[in-house]
Amino acid sequence: MVFTDFGNKLSQHSGILQLMDDIAKPLPAGVTPHPLGGGNPARVPEVERAYRAELERILADGDRFEDVLAHYDSPQGRVEFLEMAAEFFRNRYGWPLTMENIALTNGSQSAMFYLFNLFSGTCEGKKRTLLFPLMPEYIGYADQGIEEGTFVSIPSIVEYSDDRTFKYRMDLKSVDGYLASHPEVGAMCVSRPTNPSGNVLTDDEIHGLSSLAHKYAIPLIVDNAYGLPFPDIVFTDEAEPIWNEDIVLSMSLSKIGLPSIRTGIVIARKEIISAVGNMNAIAALATGSMGPVLAGDLLSSGKLTDLASNVVRPFYEKRAMAAVSWIRKYFDGTEFFIHRPEGSIFLWLYLPSLSIPTLDFYSVLMKEGVVTVPGEYFFFGSDDVRKHPHYNKCLRINYSGDPSLTEDGIRIIAEKYREYSV
Ligand SMILES: Cc1ncc(COP(=O)(O)O)c(C=O)c1O
C-alpha cells in the first residue's frame, strides 16, 4: 500500500497526536494518573448548569430538538447563529460585521487547518509560507501544513523578572525585516493567550502585527481559543479584543465548556469567510449544529460573556495562582523559572539545570503517572528556533484538573528534577 505525501505527512507521529493519545490512554495498573498533559478544560459547574438549562429549554420546545438533529446546517455555519454573533460583536465592540464575516467550523483546530493551507503552500509554482512571529507556539499547529517546509518562525526574546518569572517578547522590527525580505510569506499567526506559555500579547503587539499585516497585504491570524470576550481565560486587564479587516480572529466554544461538541468561530473579511465555508463543504459538508444551538441565546443575551468574565476567568485564575504557589514550594532551592501566567490553562516551566532533554524527562515522569507535554514540540518552523535556550528545557503543565492531583504532580516533577539536574 502506498500513501501519498499528503497521507504520509498527516498520518505520521506528531506531538499533537501524542498529547491527544495521552489524554485518553489508561496508564499501567497501579499507577495513579496525574493528568497535567493535554488541553482538556475543567468542568465548571455554573457553565454546565447554563448549557443544561438551554438544552432543557430546547427539549421542552415542541419538536425543536428533533428539528436541530435532523438537518445539516450550511457549510458556513448555522445561519441564525451567524446573524446573532455578527449583531453581538457589532453592538459590543462596534466591529462592522455581518453574517458574511463569520464562519463556523468543527472546532477551531479545523479552522486553523483550513486557514493555514489557504495561505501557505504552492501558489502559481512558488512556495508561500506561514510566519509564526513568536516561538514557542501551539503544538497543534506544527503539523497542519499539507506541504513540507511551509511554516517559518521567529524565536521569542526572553525577558526575566526578579521573581523567577519571565515573559516572551516579540521584536516587531525583526518581524518587519523578515517580511520585507521574504515576500513569499502568505500570512502570520499567533495564539493569544499563547499556548503553551500563558503569554498574552499586548494590545500594542497585536496592533503592531496588524499594521505589518496591512503593510505587506497578508492576513494576521489571531487564535483566540482562550481569549476575549469568551472564554476570557485572561488574567491581565491590559488586553482588549481586537479585530479589523487585516485580522482573522479564530474563536472556540471548547474552553467555555463544550470541547466535545467541536465549535470553532472564524471572524474575517468576507472573501476569507467565503473560502472557509467552501472548504468546509468539501472537507466536512457542514459544521455540527449543537454548539451554535446551545450557545446562541447565551451569546445574544450577554450571559455567555458574563459567565466568562465572572465565573470562568476567576476559576482558572485561582487554579493558576495555586499551581504557581506549589511550584514555588516544591521547586524551592532548584533553578526554575515560570512564564508569567497571564492566561490560558497552562503553566510553562523552564528548567535550565535539566540534565536530559524534556522529551526524555517526559518519559521519566510518565512512569510516575505524571502526564505533561515536553517543550520541544512547541518549537517548529525555522531551524534556528531549535537554538532557543528554552528549546529542550521546558515543560507545559495543565493546571485545570483536580487540584490535589495537580499539587502532587508538581511535587513529583520537582523531585525528579532534583534527580535529573546537572
Ligand atoms: C491555542 C489553541 N488553538 C486551538 C485549539 C483547538 O481547540 P478546538 O478545536 O477544540 O476549538 C486549542 C486546543 O487546545 C488551542 O490550545
What pLDDT shows up at residue 20? Answer: 83
Give a yes or no: residue 237 inside a domain. yes
Q: How far is the CA of 335 from the centre of ligand 1 (A)?
A: 31
158 and 230 inside one domain: yes
251 and 163 inside one domain: yes
**pLDDT category, 136, cuts 50, 70, 90?**
very high
287 and 365 inside one domain: no
CB-based contact 68:296 (threshold 8 Å):
no
pLDDT in tens, 215-225: 999 999 999 99
C-alpha cell, 247: 485580522
What pLDDT shows up at residue 39? Answer: 82
Domain boundary among the residues 274, 303, 332 is at 303
User: What does pLDDT average to over the chain?
Assistant: 96
> Mean per-residue pLDDT for 208-218?
98
**pLDDT category, 30, cuts 50, 70, 90?**
confident
Residue of 254, 258, 377, 398 to test ligand 1 pocket, by largest number of atoms within 8 Å of CB: 254
273 and 141 inside one domain: yes
Q: Check whether 25 has a pLDDT greater than 80.
A: no
297 and 337 inside one domain: no
Q: Check whether 226 has a pLDDT greater than 90.
A: yes
> Mean per-residue pLDDT for 16-41?
85
| 126: CATH | 3.40.640.10
Q: What's the predicted TM-score (pTM) here?
A: 0.97
Q: Of residues 17 and 418, which shows the higher confidence score?
A: 418
d(CA 95, CA 113): 25
Q: Check whether 246 has a pLDDT greater than 90.
A: yes
Give a yes or no: residue 3 inside a domain. no
155 and 254 inside one domain: yes
270 and 329 inside one domain: no
d(CA 283, CA 327): 44
**pLDDT category, 184, cuts 50, 70, 90?**
very high
Domain boundary among the residues 303, 327, 357 is at 303
CB-based contact 105:118 (threshold 8 Å):
no
What burial class does residue 122 get, using C-beta atoms within 10 Å of its C-beta: 0-12 exposed, 13-18 middle, 19+ buried?
A: exposed
- Ligand 1 atom closest to the Cα of residue 254 is 10
- Ligand 1 atom closest to the Cα of residue 255 is 10
Q: Is the CB of 358 under 6 A from ligand 1?
A: no
Domain with 224, as residue range(s), is 71-303
227 and 313 inside one domain: no
Q: What does each C-alpha distance from 373 to 133, 197, 302, 305, 307 come to in angstroms?
A: 22, 12, 35, 30, 29
Q: Check whether 23 has a pLDDT greater than 90.
A: no
What pLDDT shows up at residue 38? Answer: 86
Q: Check whether 26 has a pLDDT greater than 80.
A: no
29 and 113 inside one domain: no
Q: Residue 67 in 3-state DSSP?
A: helix
Give a yes or no: residue 95 inside a domain. yes
Question: Which stretch of 20-24, 74-78, 124-128, 194-198 has the lowest confidence by average pLDDT?
Answer: 20-24
What pLDDT shows up at residue 103? Answer: 98
What pLDDT shows up at residue 218? Answer: 98
d(CA 71, CA 79): 13
Q: Is the CB of 41 under 6 A from ligand 1?
A: no
Residue of 195, 226, 263 to test ligand 1 pocket, by largest number of atoms within 8 Å of CB: 195
Q: Is the CB of 287 under 6 A from ligand 1?
A: no
226 and 267 inside one domain: yes
d(CA 276, CA 266): 9
> Mean per-residue pLDDT for 158-171?
97
215 and 179 inside one domain: yes
Q: How far is the CA of 415 from the centre of ligand 1 (A)?
A: 31
What pLDDT shows up at residue 357? Answer: 97
Q: Check whether 106 has a pLDDT greater than 80.
A: yes
Q: Which residue has cell 534527580?
A: 419
Give a yes or no: residue 119 inside a domain. yes
Give a yes or no: residue 62 inside a domain. no
Helix axes 203-215, 172-181, angle to 10 degrees: 20
Domain boundary among the residues 303, 330, 349 is at 303
What would you report as the CA-atom Rg of the chain, rounded to the nearest whole angstrom?
21
d(CA 266, CA 277): 10
Give a yes or no: residue 333 inside a domain. yes
Q: What is the tally of structural domains in the chain? A: 2
Q: Check whether 19 has a pLDDT greater than 90.
A: no
Percent of the chain surpassing pLDDT 90: 94
**pLDDT category, 72, cuts 50, 70, 90?**
very high
**3-state DSSP: the chain helix, strand, coil percent, rounded to 5?**
45, 20, 35
- Ligand 1 atom closest to the Cα of residue 193 is 1
**Within 10 Å of residue 169's Cβ, how many Cβ atoms?**
15
Q: If you take atom 13 of ligand 1, which residue's CA is the nearest one? A: 39
Q: If you take atom 1 of ligand 1, which residue's CA is the nearest one? A: 195
79 and 205 inside one domain: yes
Q: Check whether 318 has a pLDDT greater than 90.
A: yes
pLDDT in tens, 323-333: 999 999 999 99
Residue of 19, 223, 378 to test ligand 1 pocket, by largest number of atoms within 8 Å of CB: 223
| 17: CATH | 3.90.1150.10
Q: How far is the CA of 172 from the centre of ligand 1 (A)?
A: 25
- Ligand 1 atom closest to the Cα of residue 252 is 11
Give strand ranges (E) for 9-150. 34-35, 102-105, 121-123, 126-135
Question: Which stretch of 27-41, 116-130, 141-155, 255-269 has the lowest confidence by average pLDDT?
Answer: 27-41
Q: How far is the CA of 225 from the centre of ligand 1 (A)?
A: 6
> Mean per-residue pLDDT for 380-404?
96
Length of the chain: 422
Give a yes or no: residue 2 inside a domain. no
Give a yes or no: residue 147 inside a domain. yes
Q: How far is the CA of 191 from the centre of ligand 1 (A)?
A: 9
